Chain A
């Protein structure tokens, strides 16, 4: 069946460090891929998405590229800020359902 695997956290970085959170997926067909973010005390928000192979989603300095050959959708940001501290979920959409990864908690030190 369809599934999403993302790197376990927590991840702790210093401000302005480079961020990568790995995400791979298993799916039939060509699912849409997403990164959602959950800030403390808030609901999940869509961060970025990609709907087909080689698409790059980007938002707020974050980027992820839909790699069909490696079935990956890694999240990257060149310089993180304290305000990026949150839980990040990789997800795919297939058969009218969103399937989430287990989430990665990111903490950024000033």
Chain B
């Protein structure tokens, strides 16, 4: 069964509002989780690494103030898209390392089913 869940699976919001997406590790505590963005017919792009107990690490070009990440507990990371605009419409996917957060096992990850965000 699934080991990573996301909520909601899809969301439609008005431009200018904020949207929170939850990512839960269902079977293992994860000190590290990852957030990806997938554009239509394109690859997954790593946005940031979510770290429990410390600030998230953002990839180059990702706006920290727009995409707020909070690793609230060892089983929950949230991504908040603030002041959303139509160009933020995308498929957002989270993942966790196979063994929860040990650096040597980042190479195998379990992915959530994704959240489709549509900003009108």
The chain A residues found within 8 Å of chain B, CB to CB, are: 4, 32, 34, 36, 41-46, 49, 51, 89, 93, 96-103
A101 CB to nearest chain B CB (Å): 6
A49, B108: Cβ atoms under 8 Å?
yes
B43 proximal to A (CB < 8 A)? yes
Given contacts A102-B43, A103-B43, contact A42 B103 (CB under 8 A): no
Chain B residues whose C-beta falls within 8 Å of the C-beta of A36 in the assembled complex: 111
**Chief secondary structure at chain A's binding surface:** strand
A62 CB to nearest chain B CB (Å): 17
B28 proximal to A (CB < 8 A)? no
Among candidates A4, A93, A101, residue contacting B106 with C-beta atoms closer than 8 Å = A93
B93 proximal to A (CB < 8 A)? yes
B93, A43: Cβ atoms under 8 Å?
yes
Chain B residues whose C-beta falls within 8 Å of the C-beta of A43 in the assembled complex: 2, 4, 93, 110-114
A98, B107: Cβ atoms under 8 Å?
yes
Chain B residues whose C-beta falls within 8 Å of the C-beta of A41 in the assembled complex: 113
Among candidates A32, A42, A97, A100, residue contacting B43 with C-beta atoms closer than 8 Å = A100
A61 CB to nearest chain B CB (Å): 21
Q: Give 7 A-B contacts (CB < 8 Å), ordered by A residue.
A: A4-B43, A34-B107, A89-B44, A93-B107, A100-B43, A102-B43, A103-B41
A46, B2: Cβ atoms under 8 Å?
no
A89, B43: Cβ atoms under 8 Å?
yes
Q: Tell me the complex Cα distance, A33–B2, Å.
A: 23
Among candidates B43, B95, B103, residue contacting A96 with C-beta atoms closer than 8 Å = B103
Known: A46-B108, A98-B106. 18 other contacts (CB 8 A): A32-B107, A34-B107, A34-B108, A42-B113, A43-B2, A43-B113, A43-B114, A44-B95, A45-B111, A51-B107, A89-B43, A93-B107, A97-B46, A98-B46, A98-B107, A99-B46, A100-B43, A102-B42
Q: Which of B2, B43, B111, B112 has the largest count of A CB atoms less than 10 A from its CB?
A: B43
